[in-house]
């Protein structure tokens, strides 16, 4: 019994520290899921806006409130491969008319579509090397996960990402 009394302060401290770590992980989970997350941007589709392996902050509040629009850079669940997420710029929202060229090398073939209700039209800034709505069509709004607002790495690329309509 004496041994149990000797260990009680250590057990109590261990439980308190464990609870503190659990609270920290809960805070990180809630922040990442509902507020803001750190994302790595890679691939050629958003050049020159983003360079390969930029690290950025993406907020989730605007998408949940339906406050994103043309010009916003967003992280979306890929319509072609749901296990992947991609970074694109919103070009049009529901009801907008979009005219686009399927093949940038053949600008004679102009297509026009109306973005359906509950969808957005997304394109990469690098039109020559991007798979986007020109190939897979409008994306359901539910696939939009977050809006990129700030590049944090590398330091030479540090910048705010605004609502730039291209």
With a CB cutoff of 8 Å and minimum separation 6, the contacts of 135 are 102
Active site residue 156: no
DSSP state of 132: S
Catalytic residue among 45, 130, 133, 146: 45
Find, among 93, 145, 90, 142, the residue nearest to 116 by Cα: 93
Contact 126, 45 (CB under 8 A): yes
What is the C-alpha to C-alpha distance for residues 101 and 60, in angstroms, rounded to an integer?
Answer: 31
Report residue 77 CA to chain centroid gap: 9
Catalytic residue among 37, 67, 88, 156: 88
Catalytic residues: 45, 88
């Amino acid at each position: 019994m004496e041994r149990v009394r000797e260990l009680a302060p250590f057990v109590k401290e261990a439980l308190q520290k464990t609870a503190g770590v659990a609270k920290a992980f809960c805070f990180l989970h809630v922040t990442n899921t509902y507020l803001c997350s750190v994302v790595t941007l890679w691939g050629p589709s958003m050049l020159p806006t983003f360079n390969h392996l930029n690290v950025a902050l993406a907020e989730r509040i605007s998408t949940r409130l339906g406050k994103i629009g043309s010009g916003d850079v967003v992280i979306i669940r890929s319509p072609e491969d749901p296990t992947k997420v991609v970074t694109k710029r919103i070009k049009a929202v529901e009801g907008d008319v979009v005219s686009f060229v399927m093949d940038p090398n053949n600008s004679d073939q102009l297509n026009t579509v109306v973005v359906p209700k509950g969808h957005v039209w997304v394109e990469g800034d690098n039109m020559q090397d991007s798979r986007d709505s020109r190939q897979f069509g409008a994306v359901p709004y539910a696939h939009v996960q977050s809006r990129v607002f700030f590049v944090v790495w590398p330091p030479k690329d540090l910048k705010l990402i605004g609502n730039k309509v291209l």
